[in-house]
Amino acid sequence: MLNCAIVDDEPLAQEILAGYMASLDRVQLVGRFSNAFDARAFLEDHTVDVLFLDIEMPEMSGIDFLKSLPHPPITVFTTAFRDYAFEGFELGVIDFLLKPIAKPRFLLALEKIRDFLSLKTEDADFELSRDTPEFIFVKSGVRQIKLFFADVTHIQGLKDYAIIYAASGKIVVKGSIKFMQKLFPSPRFIRVHKSFLVAMDKIKRIEKNRIIIGDHQIPIGRNYKDEMGKKCQARS
């Protein structure tokens, strides 16, 4: 069961998300709030697994609210501003939903959350081989997964964890994105954002401040834009 809370000053946006949750098994709405202050008071005394958080709110924005939480739950930003939402990845949000939120997109966010929670319990770790630079072994429980660098499309950092996206599926490992950057070789993999590494050869196209890889839209951070441009020119 996922215990969820909504923080949004728009009543209609609350109603839409609440309706989606009510139609699903193993999803429970435990709190609805129109401002960050009431939500913070609730979080002090209640367990919330997933927080659906609006960005543009009066008095305190969703970003400032998230920064103020010492131990925030898994967070999904809900916003009408696509580019603004990308800033949330720097705070370790797992996803963002663009308003008006369609149910299929909401279900994809829940699937991503469930994948993260289930894979996180496997306590995956790395086993490096200096003599085989084309792959690494990922230890997950009693299994050892042979992960070829050529199969990895991108890596997303979520504070103390990282999600590795590969052709065979997703793997959640303990470790920061900075640690991932040391493991996945350059120039094959480049840092494009505080929370993202991408495989250069998997980039489908670049649109303004984001990279398209398959169905994924990956933000390009301000501090990485110039370096990204130089490396793209070097490959062309």
Instruction: Give me the mean pLDDT over the 191-201 stretch.
Output: 93
Q: Is the pLDDT of residue 12 over 80?
A: yes
Q: Among 120, 140, 172, identify where a domain stops.
A: 120
- What pLDDT was estimated at residue 211? 92
Please count the CA atoms within 13 angstroms of the CA of 155 that sit on its side-chain side.
Answer: 31
In a domain, 234, yes or no: no
Least confident of 13-22, 143-152, 192-201: 143-152
Instruction: Give me the mean pLDDT over the 92-112 stretch.
Output: 92
The residue ranking higher by pLDDT, 69 or 138, is 69
Q: What percent of the chain has pLDDT over 90?
A: 50
Least confident of 10-24, 95-109, 139-153: 139-153
Q: What percent of the chain has pLDDT over 70?
A: 86
132 plus 194 within the same structural domain:
yes
66 plus 95 within the same structural domain:
yes
Instruction: Give me the mean pLDDT over the 201-206 stretch.
Output: 92
114 plus 129 within the same structural domain:
no
In a domain, 231, yes or no: no
| Count of structural domains within the chain | 2
187 plus 104 within the same structural domain:
no
In a domain, 22, yes or no: yes
In a domain, 230, yes or no: no
182 plus 167 within the same structural domain:
yes
6 plus 108 within the same structural domain:
yes
Q: Among 85, 120, 155, identify where a domain stops.
A: 120
175 plus 209 within the same structural domain:
yes
In a domain, 236, yes or no: no
In a domain, 23, yes or no: yes
- What pLDDT was estimated at residue 222? 82
19 plus 106 within the same structural domain:
yes
In which band, very low, low, confident or very high, does the pLDDT at 21 lie, cut at 50, 70 and 90?
A: very high
- What pLDDT was estimated at residue 190? 93
78 plus 133 within the same structural domain:
no
Distance, in Å, from the CA atom of 25 to the CA atom of 177, rounded to the nearest integer, reads 33
12 plus 94 within the same structural domain:
yes
Least confident of 67-76, 135-144, 156-165, 186-195: 135-144
- C-alpha closest to that of 36 among 14, 73, 6, 4: 6
6 plus 115 within the same structural domain:
yes
- C-alpha closest to that of 179 among 167, 199, 168, 164: 164
Q: Is the pLDDT of residue 234 over 70?
A: no
In which band, very low, low, confident or very high, does the pLDDT at 199 lie, cut at 50, 70 and 90?
A: very high
Q: Is the pLDDT of residue 131 over 60?
A: no
Q: CATH number, domain at 144?
A: 2.40.50.1020
Instruction: Give me the mean pLDDT over the 119-143 stretch.
Output: 64
Q: Among 67, 85, 120, identify where a domain stops.
A: 120
Q: Which amino acid is at 71?
A: H
In a domain, 87, yes or no: yes
Q: Which domain holds residue 93?
A: 2-120
In a domain, 13, yes or no: yes
- What pLDDT was estimated at residue 124? 54
Q: CATH number, domain at 101?
A: 3.40.50.2300
83 plus 144 within the same structural domain:
no
